[in-house]
Copies of this chain bind each other. A is one copy, B any other.
Amino acid sequence: MRMTSERKAETRERILAAAGTLFRSHGVDAVGVDAIMHEAGLTHGGFYAHFASKEALVAEMASAALARSAARWERISEEADAATALARIVEAYLDPAHVAAAERGCVLSTLGPEMARRHDARPAIAASIRRMLDVLARCLPGRRRQRALATLSAMVGAVVLARLCDDTRLADEFLVAARNAAGLR
């Protein structure tokens, strides 16, 4: 039974990963359980051995993805001094490569409004947001808390707006301006 449930946990991770990619690429409501299971190399029927419903999968995917993001930020802030950590976090977020790779991008900017409508998922998401804010506050000088809130807002907004621009030049302008607003040059 140990080996079996280990395998099951692995499969569950594959389903979560497939859902993460597909939801971010096409939106939650545009992707069916069928497509997710196919992407995970399975068929649709076995889904309910792993999740109670599609809605439960959505909530867990968002929660897990954001917890991973928060953990990565925490690790960076522990491995480097404040200024270096801030630069690494903010520059990676405001990189044109992040804008282009929405399927692996931050859930706040790929699925923010969609998740805001799913009230069950919000507590876990808010918890990760708090962790991210704490990391940014540790890395920023001055009025830390306020600057952390403003910086995270500018990061999320700039990526959302950059993805809305059909013109790469305007998109890059948003990214550069948000970097400068965070105190980077």
A residues apposed to B, CB below 8 Å:
25-30, 102, 108-117, 119, 122-123, 125-126, 129-130, 145-147, 149-150, 152-158, 160-161, 163-167, 170, 173-174, 176-178, 180-181
Contacts and interface: CB of A to CB of B under 8 A. Distances in A.
A70 to B, nearest CB: 14
Given A27-B117, A149-B176, A153-B157, 4 more contacts: A122-B165, A125-B164, A149-B174, A160-B160
A113 B160 contact: yes
B123 A149 contact: no
B164 A116 contact: yes
14 contacts: A26-B117, A112-B112, A112-B113, A112-B160, A113-B114, A119-B166, A126-B165, A126-B170, A129-B164, A150-B177, A152-B161, A153-B155, A153-B158, A160-B160
Nearest to A165: B126
Contacts of A164: 108, 112, 115-116, 122, 125-126, 129
Main secondary structure of the interface of A (DSSP, over half): helix
A48 to B, nearest CB: 22
Given A152-B161, A153-B174, A114 B116 contact: no
Contacts of A178: 149-150, 153
Contacts of A26: 117
A146 to B, nearest CB: 5
Nearest to A120: B166
A150 B173 CA distance: 9
Contacts of A165: 122, 126, 129
Nearest to A62: B164
